Structure 1
Amino acid sequence: MARLQVFLAALWWGSLCCVGFMVVPLLFVHLETPAIAGQMAAKLFTAQSWLSLVCGLLLLLAAQRQSRDTTNTPSPWVIGGMLCALLIEMVVKPHIVARDNMALWHNFGSALYVAQWLCATKVLWALCPVKFEPAESADSAQND
């Protein structure tokens, strides 16, 4: 169950990085017009929002199933990220599609996207504790 949680968190975080920080900026650089790039970006952000919601829901279900350790649960961060995804899809997107005060809604959407990325980062970070073990020296490995 723990590996599934790490996989879901990594999928969520990685997809946010890929879509928002690489693919969409490249659309605006390489497509013929900003309008075409914007239409494609809107479709990608919709897909990203649904992926975020599915990953978040599955993370919450997995955490509930593995509720032995409730002290280190990433659930508030998962819920926060899901809320950001819902706000982007249900509140921000309609205003951007309607071209209503583009600067305001684009900046608000960008802030929510970064907030969602931070939530996903926190979830992934919490699920992947780093364990440092002393490295064996080459001499002690040869002596064995």
Structure 2
Amino acid sequence: MQQIRSQRIFSLISGLWVGSFITIGFLVVPVLFSSLGDRQVAGLVAANLFKTTAYIGVALSAFLMVMANHLVRQGDEHYRIIRWILLGMLACAVGAAFIIIPWMDSLRDQALYLGLSVRESTNAAIFARLHGVSSAIFMIQSVLGLALVWRATKNAD
């Protein structure tokens, strides 16, 4: 009974987490850019959303990893593969939260200090490359998140 409750909690948390960051990335941020007239303001808001999402991702992927380990120790082999998916998601979240996003924030702050948008600064090319890397990481994390929810809600055979 305790194991079934743990599995349900795991599925609930993973579903809410994955659903929230996919909603932010594929719905909220595009609406921001299409609704706000100022792309720089939209970019700042989007950056804060992605930063918060990345920090939450680090915490929840680590927490879910602990839960998956607990379920495997209780004999639920179904969660062995899920741990690998979570490890990938944790790597994506750590890379975004502690490497890519701070670097992009630094470039944005340097441009703002000079009274420019980052697209007008001398760092525009590197910012664009980091934006591409960040987008790729987000896409990988989204696919892994969908796989996580799919596997977590699958009945163990």
Letter in 2 for 1:107: G
Asked if 1:11 is matched to 2:16, the reply is yes
Map of 1:39 onto structure 2: 44
Match of 2:134 in 1: 109
- TM superposition shift of 1:72: 4.2
**TM-score after normalising by structure 2:** 0.77
Question: Once the two structures are aligned, what percentage of the paired residues are identical?
Answer: 25
Distance 1:111 1:37, change over 3 A: same
Q: Which of 65, 79, 82 is 2:70 aligned to?
A: 65
- Structure 1: gaps spanning 5 or more residues: 132-144
Aligned with 1:29 (options 31, 34, 38): 34
Distance across 2 between alignment mates of 1:8 and 1:71: 17
1:44 maps to a residue whose letter is: L
Structure 2 alignment gaps of length 5 or more: 1-5, 109-122
Distance in 2 between the 1:77 and 1:66 partners? 15
| TM-score, scaled to structure 1 | 0.83
Find the counterpart in structure 1 of residue 145 from structure 2. Answer: 120
Structure (1 or 2) with the greater helix fraction: 2
Deviation at 1:71, TM superposition (A): 5.1
2:64 pairs with 1:56: no
The structural deviation recorded for 1:102 is 2.0
Alignment partners' CA distance in 2, 1:79 and 1:72: 12
Distance 1:41 1:72 in 2: 33
1:32 alignment partner, SS class: coil
**What amino acid is aligned across from residue 123 of structure 1 in structure 2?**
L
**2:91 is equivalent to residue 91 of structure 1:** no
2:68/2:79 contact within 8 Å kept:
no
Note the alpha carbon deviations across 1:8-46, whole angstroms, 9 max, x for none. 110221012111000011111111311101110111001
Letter of the 1:126 partner, please give it: R
Query: 2:69 touches 2:83 (CA, 8 Å); kept in 1?
Result: no
CA distance in 2 between counterparts of 1:33 and 1:66 reads: 48
